[in-house]
C-alpha cells in the first residue's frame, strides 16, 4: 500500500514543476508565439507526467490489493475507526479504516488500510462492525475482502 502513495507524491511534485514551467515561460517570454513555441513544452511534459502518475497510483493501489487478496490469509477484523482521507475517486470517498485483525492463529493485531467505498456500503465499515479481510503474514498489509 506504499507504492500508490509514493506515486501520488511524485505526481504532485510534477504538478508543482508544471507551474514553475509556466511562470518561467511567462517571465522569459517577451510575447506569446502560440502553442508551438518550444518554451511551453515543459508545461505540457509536466502536465502529462502529473496525469500519468495520478492514474498510475490508482492502478498500482488496485494491483497491491489484488496481490494481498490472492496471496493473503483470510481473517475477520473489527473496525476500530473510520475516517475520510479527503479524496474522492469517481465521486466515492476514500476512507482510512483502522482494523483489529483476528488471524486464525496467533494474537490479534491492529492495521490500517485505505479503501474507496461506495456510498451504499458505508454502513459496513462503521466502528464496531466485523468485516472479512485478507492479510499478509509478517508485513501487516491488510485489505478488505468484500469491497
In order of 15, 26, 37, 40, 48, the CA distances from 29 in angstroms are 21, 5, 10, 10, 22
CA 121, CA 14: separation in Å to the nearest integer? 34
Residue of 64, 69, 71 whose CA lies nearest to 132: 69
Confidence (pLDDT) at 56: 83
Confidence (pLDDT) at 84: 92
Confidence (pLDDT) at 132: 94
Confidence (pLDDT) at 25: 72
Confidence (pLDDT) at 36: 66
Mean pLDDT value across residues 66-95: 91
Confidence (pLDDT) at 74: 93
Confidence (pLDDT) at 30: 61
Instruction: Give the range among 13-17, 32-36, 72-76, 90-94 with minimum mean pLDDT.
Output: 32-36
Extended beta strands in 2-145, E state: 73-89, 92-102, 109-116, 130-135, 142-144
Amino acid at each position: 500500500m506504499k507504492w500508490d502513495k509514493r506515486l501520488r507524491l511524485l505526481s504532485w511534485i510534477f504538478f508543482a514543476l508544471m507551474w514553475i514551467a509556466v511562470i518561467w515561460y511567462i517571465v522569459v517570454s517577451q510575447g506569446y508565439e502560440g502553442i508551438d513555441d518550444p518554451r511551453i513544452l515543459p508545461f505540457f511534459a509536466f502536465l502529462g507526467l502529473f496525469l500519468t502518475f495520478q492514474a498510475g497510483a490508482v492502478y498500482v493501489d488496485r494491483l497491491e490489493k489484488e496481490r494481498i487478496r490472492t496471496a493473503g490469509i483470510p481473517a475477520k477484523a473489527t473496525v476500530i475507526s473510520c475516517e475520510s482521507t479527503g479524496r474522492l475517486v469517481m465521486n466515492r470517498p476514500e476512507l482510512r479504516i483502522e482494523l483489529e485483525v483476528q488471524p486464525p492463529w496467533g494474537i490479534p493485531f491492529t492495521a490500517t488500510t485505505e479503501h474507496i467505498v461506495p456510498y451504499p456500503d458505508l454502513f459496513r465499515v462503521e466502528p464496531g462492525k466485523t468485516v472479512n479481510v485478507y492479510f499478509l503474514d509478517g508485513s501487516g498489509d491488510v485489505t478488505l475482502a468484500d469491497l
